[in-house]
Amino acid sequence: MKFENKRQSAEAHEAISTQIRRDIVSMLLEAGSGHSGGPLGTTDIYSVLYFGGFMKYDPSNPDWAERDRFVLSAGHMAPVLYAALANAGMFPREELMTLRKYGTRLQGHPGRDMGLPGIETSSGSLGQGISIAVGMAMSDRLLDKNKRRVYSLTGDGELQEGSVWEAAMSASNFGLDNFCWIIDNNDCQIDGRLRDVMNVYPIDEKCRSFGFDTIVVDGHDFNQLYAAFDRFTENWQKGTGVPTAIVAETKMGKGVSFMEDQYEWHGKPPNAEEAKIALSELD
């Protein structure tokens, strides 16, 4: 079953998110490696972005020139992007089970040269995707008459990369109101809490000082996510010259009780027993 891309109820998004989360758990079990926490934690953002009528894409014509662009800067969170794209009809859902297998188009980090529909760029080296996305937004402004929106998602740990802030500075310097920066703020990174590794707080004030219209939302509240993406769309349509940042407060591993808010699940797949429990909780 393929989900539609239009404004829909919170209940409908709940069902979409549950399907995506089930896919993530199944893919990771089958792969035997990969990242569970971030993908499950950001699922509701994809639910609204790809199935709430915000991302403009056409599964029957994935290379459509006027499509919006999405760049997953935190490339290790690829399973959620793959699951969202498959459920949008960009490629067959069966292919999800090839994640990380030899020769697959679903590499552990997205690879543009794999030819998977919906993957705009290779990513995974942290701090780089956002710069690529800002470049795309600039090119759209200069060459293509501002027809597209460009979205990029970074992790909160990724904010420790200096190049992220160069990209942010450029986005406001060049007035890129067609650029939406989504920050997954789960207060977890591979080795622990953000404050214990390298404090990046206050994130919202940093974004504001870098010139972004900054909105802090509960990343699991569909209404708040709709309001934030609506405000971005408004900034773009009105031509405010101000880029938008959405700081989404999320729970790593959301939906699976024993993974929730546990940074140990950053880069670990479930084993068979854990996957069974996870899928029963996501029923």
Contact yes or no for 246/182 (Cβ under 8 A): yes
Tell me how many residues contact Mg ion (CB under 5 A): 6
CB of 113 to Mg ion, least distance (A): 27
Which amino acid makes up residue 206? K
Closest to Mg ion by CB, 181 or 236: 181
Query: Which range binds Mg ion by CB under 5 A, 55-63, 76-84, 145-153, 157-165?
Result: 157-165
Is residue 157 a contact residue for Mg ion (CB under 5 A)?
yes
Contact yes or no for 270/33 (Cβ under 8 A): no
Cα 181 from Cα 52, distance rounded (Å): 17
CB of 39 to Mg ion, least distance (A): 12
Is residue 110 a contact residue for Mg ion (CB under 5 A)?
no
Cα 55 from Cα 183, distance rounded (Å): 17
Max Cα distance, the chain (Å): 53
Nearest of 58, 231, 211, 244 to residue 137 by alpha carbon: 244
CB of 185 to Mg ion, least distance (A): 7
* Site mask for Mg ion (CB under 5 A), range 168-187, x = bound: ------------------x-
Cα 98 from Cα 1, distance rounded (Å): 19
Interface with Mg ion (CB under 5 A), residue from 79, 118, 124, 155: 155
Cα 192 from Cα 72, distance rounded (Å): 22
Query: Which range binds Mg ion by CB under 5 A, 110-118, 122-130, 154-162, 273-281?
Result: 154-162
Is residue 249 a contact residue for Mg ion (CB under 5 A)?
no
Is residue 156 a contact residue for Mg ion (CB under 5 A)?
yes
> Element (H or E) spanning 249, and its range?
strand 244-249
Task: Give me the residues that bind Mg ion (CB under 5 A), please.
Answer: 155-157, 186, 188-189
